[in-house]
Amino acid sequence: FFFFFFFSSRFKNDFNSDASKMRLFVISALFFALILVSISSAQSGDFVNNKVKRRVEATSQVVKVVTTIDYQKKTEGKDSYQLFVANPQLLSSFSVTGKAGAQLEITPNGKSDQNGVEYGSYSVKLAHSESNGKLKVSLVYIHLLKAFPEKIAQSEKQFVVLNDNHYFYSPYLTEEQSTVVEVPSSFENHSEEKPTSVSGSKVTYGPYTQVKALSFSPLRVHFENNSPFITVKRFVRTIEISHWGNVAVEDSYDIVHGGALLKGQFSRAEYQRSPNGSPAHIPSMRQQLLPGTADVYYRDSIGNISTSNFNPNHKNGPYLEWLPRTPLFGGWKIKFEIGFNLPTSGYLFRDSYDSSRYVLNTTFISALEHAVYDEIEVRVILPEGSKNTEAVTPFSLDGERREKHSTYLDTTGREVIVLNKKNLSFDSSSKYFQVTYHFSRSSLLQEPFLLVATFFVIFLGIAASTRFNYRIGEPKPVVVHTPVVVAAPVAPSTKAGRR
């Protein structure tokens, strides 16, 4: 603005001409560009990345990226490290740890589109004021791999593409860095950015030296990946707590095969001849269950499905393995429910300092192997009369609300805590969440009292109903007819005549 008014006053006479306007616009644009460059240079000079190592693991449909950063602080007093993360909308988990492995605070600063890739900007609050430090950034992505080709025949293998950056995208200068990409099999092809070396199922890019801030070079890896691409489009877990010794759990699944779409018609005869001849399909599923699981059922909209196997005594814990009604190929969908009961002794605890406070501790999602979850809804149905409810989760939620649920012998209804989350992977199935609430023991007598009172009223009504006359009008007198007995005549004796 200073330049605008300065030049407008100096060239007041010629300001109305097109040449003067163009000259003023160019000078102002150069001035603002100089300011932006100065700000960027000041930010990039706060830290220097001495050494960066990236490891990208793409052995399943989930992509894990682990980056270790050895940094050096150039500006005294700076306790915030700026971090750029590609494709933040596909993140399942994101964590940053320091030297001692302690979790560091992460603050989002917004998103921007750079080189056709969406990046999220984050500030990491450093735990110490030393001039040198080390960070470990752990990222887990879902839906980052894209099937190529997008359609395959029933007997064809599945190939996918991973797109990334050869360089560590950072606002700071990086003195040395390298990237290792690991895939489940050999490479179909991969990009080159010398020096590049391949060893079996691993490709190493770098080391690169003196990489400037915000450097970008497209990385592309094309490889075979026939792992199960199980995508749970919507997952609903309903947990109902009963203080009579049981926690009932029901998991509802809406699943689609997220891999390459099936090209052409499905041949049942070909599949029966060679089930292993379709490497990219999903023939069966397996879910790890919680310790103490009992009364397991597996059903869909048609009814119970008997092609399942429940093993409660496995060394790694109980599990359920089942065959869907049809095998799943790319783009195919299936819906079903799995339910089971848990003992309250292992999952519902009472506060030792407050006898009316209870804590439910269980997993947020199911442990369906190889699965990723797009939308998750967890519904916790508390006992009637619960108060001061609160949910604590190991990650941020996308939504939380309260509802009412009424069932048998309820009067005011039971409070339901509804938790919503997006983008989780199978790795999150081991994370527990807690629900705390206050509940009076005297409330346990409500249902038995209602039951006894109901039967008492029914029996009292039956007893009273037998004492009422339900006829319409005056009752008619009852006439009792007494039968008349007529004696038979006695015949005269014949003995007297003979005399």
Q: What is the pLDDT of residues 281-329, one digit of tens each?
A: 999 999 999 999 999 999 888 887 778 889 998 888 899 999 888 889 9
Structure tokens at 258: 């997220």
pLDDT at 440: 83
pLDDT tens for each residue of 317-335 = 899 999 888 889 999 999 9
pLDDT tens for each residue of 124-159 = 998 877 788 899 999 999 999 999 999 999 999 999
Region of residue 428 (left: phi > 0; alpha: psi -120 to 50; beta: else): alpha
Q: What is residue 297's DSSP assignment?
A: E
pLDDT tens for each residue of 21-78 = 556 554 554 543 444 344 444 456 789 999 999 999 999 999 999 999 999 988 877 8
Structure tokens at 132: 């040198």
- Packing angle between helix 18-44 and helix 2-10, nearest 10 degrees? 150
List of residues 6+ apart from 173 with CB closer than 8 A: 44, 48, 49, 210, 211, 212, 213
Structure tokens at 400: 């939380």
Number of Cβ within 10 Å of residue 329's Cβ equals 20
pLDDT at 48: 94
What is the spatial distance between Cα 366 and Cα 376, in angstroms, rounded to a whole number? 10
pLDDT at 478: 64
361 within 8 A of 434, measured Cβ to Cβ? yes
349 within 8 A of 337, measured Cβ to Cβ? no
User: Which amino acid type is present at position 329?
Assistant: F
Residue found by looking up tokens 């407008």 in the block: 8
User: Which neighbouring-strand residues pair with 297?
Assistant: 339
What is the spatial distance between Cα 438 and Cα 386, in angstroms, rounded to a whole number? 6
Region of residue 235 (left: phi > 0; alpha: psi -120 to 50; beta: else): beta
Q: Which helix (H) or strand (E) holds 49?
A: strand 47-57
Task: Answer whether 0.85 is exceeded by the pTM.
Answer: no
Alpha helices in 203-277 (DSSP H): 268-273
What is the spatial distance between Cα 207 and Cα 308, in angstroms, rounded to a whole number? 50
Q: Is the pLDDT of residue 207 over 80?
A: yes
Q: Which helix (H) or strand (E) holds 498?
A: helix 495-498
What is the spatial distance between Cα 331 and Cα 178, in angstroms, rounded to a whole number? 37
Angle CA(369)–CA(373)–CA(379) in degrees, nearest 5? 105
Range 424-452 average pLDDT: 85
User: Which amino acid type is present at position 208?
Assistant: Y
pLDDT at 288: 94
> CA separation (Å) from 472 to 360, 449, 464, 479?
61, 38, 19, 20
Radius of gyration, CA atoms only, the chain: 38
pLDDT at 182: 96
Q: What is residue 212's DSSP assignment?
A: P
Percent of all residues in the chain with a pLDDT value above 70, rounded to a whole number = 85
